[in-house]
Amino acid sequence: MVWSDFITPIVVAAIGIMILSGIKVNSQWDTAVIFRLGKYSRMHGAGLYYVIPLIENRIVVDGRVRTTTFTAEQSLTRDNVPVFVDAVLFWRVKVPSDAIIVVQDYQGSILKASMTTLRDTIGRTDLATMLSDRQQLDNMLQQTIESKAQPWGIDVQSVEIKDVKIPKELEDAMSRQAQAERERLARISLGDSEIQIAHKFQEASKVYVSNPEAMRLRAMNMLYEAVKEKGTFIIVPSEIVSQMGFSGVLGTVGFAQAQKQAKTEEEKK
């Protein structure tokens, strides 16, 4: 038996394995970018396909939406306030061939572009706007990052600001300012109420001056409201009682109150 009898099967087996190694399968979310002798050839999506061994090679790109967290530490706002901003970027590779060919590291590039854009946007925004209108800041970040990432074949879905932290001293000062503002508004509201009440009393006085009977009825109602509670005593000067013209009514109310108290004491015994 000669050496050719052993070499031939080995060579055939090696060639067969090499041919079979070119069979590839992509998942539903993967896209393969195929290069032939170093040049871009084509793209393949999900399913079965073939790559020529030793001539073609592939790079698989995940097409699902990804989340990237990025921060801006001690960045100054337009009104010179140091802030710490934490944000999240939602993005996906839309054109895999551009993501592989145009930029060397598309994942690292999108992260660095997001960080620099966030710092630049903070520097052009006031602290009050940043705290009160985050949606506007999110839209500004999305538009700027998308303009940078679009040539790389990357689609920016959205950008969301998670947290904006400010120095503790400034936070305490803003809290005191907000408390003082609420107190000021409360006092203004109380003053407006007093003005409205004074106007109503002025209108009521005109009615009582023109109609003495209405004044007597009002006085009787006030006395009734005062003595209807248990254990309540009202001392009214006799001159005021005579002027109001209801001294008899007051005596009746006092007598009824005394009877009610006596009945209560008998029930307790």
- Distances in Å between the alpha carbon of 14 and those of 4, 19, 238? 15, 9, 127
Q: What is the pLDDT of residue 76?
A: 82
Phi then psi for 232, rounded to 5 degrees?
-100, 130
Average pLDDT of every residue of the chain: 79
More confident residue, 141 or 263: 141
- What pLDDT, in 10s, does the model give residues 98-147? 999 999 899 999 999 999 999 888 888 888 888 788 888 888 889 999 99
Confidence class of residue 220 from pLDDT cuts 50, 70 and 90?
A: low
Confidence class of residue 3 from pLDDT cuts 50, 70 and 90?
A: low
Confidence class of residue 255 from pLDDT cuts 50, 70 and 90?
A: very low
If you average pLDDT over residues 12-24, what whole number do you get?
80
Q: What is the pLDDT of residue 254?
A: 53
Confidence class of residue 263 from pLDDT cuts 50, 70 and 90?
A: low
- Distances in Å between the alpha carbon of 182 and those of 3, 50, 177, 189? 99, 71, 9, 11
| 258: pLDDT strictly greater than 60 | no
Show Cβ contacts of residue 175 under 8 Å, excluding neighbours closer than 6 positions.
none
More confident residue, 7 or 147: 147
If you average pLDDT over residues 62-70, what whole number do you get?
91
Please state which of the ranges 73-77, 126-130, 172-176 shows the lowest mean pLDDT. 172-176
| 259: pLDDT strictly greater than 60 | no
For tokens 């921060």, the residue is 71
If you average pLDDT over residues 24-44, what whole number do you get?
91
Q: What is the pLDDT of residue 238?
A: 53
The first and second tokens of residue 166, run together, are: 């400010």
Spatial distance between the Cα atoms of 185 and 191, rounded to a whole number of angstroms: 10
What are the residue boundaries of the structural domains of the chain, listed by start? 4-62, 66-166, 170-210, 222-269
If you average pLDDT over residues 54-61, what whole number do you get?
90
If you average pLDDT over residues 166-172, what whole number do you get?
71
Q: What is the pLDDT of residue 265?
A: 63
Domain 66-166, CATH 3.40.50.2300 — does that match?
A: no
- Distances in Å between the alpha carbon of 23 and those of 12, 16, 68, 184? 18, 12, 33, 76
Please state which of the ranges 145-154, 199-208, 219-228, 232-241 shows the lowest mean pLDDT. 232-241
Confidence class of residue 152 from pLDDT cuts 50, 70 and 90?
A: very high
If you average pLDDT over residues 52-67, what whole number do you get?
90
Residue type at 198 in one-letter notation:
A
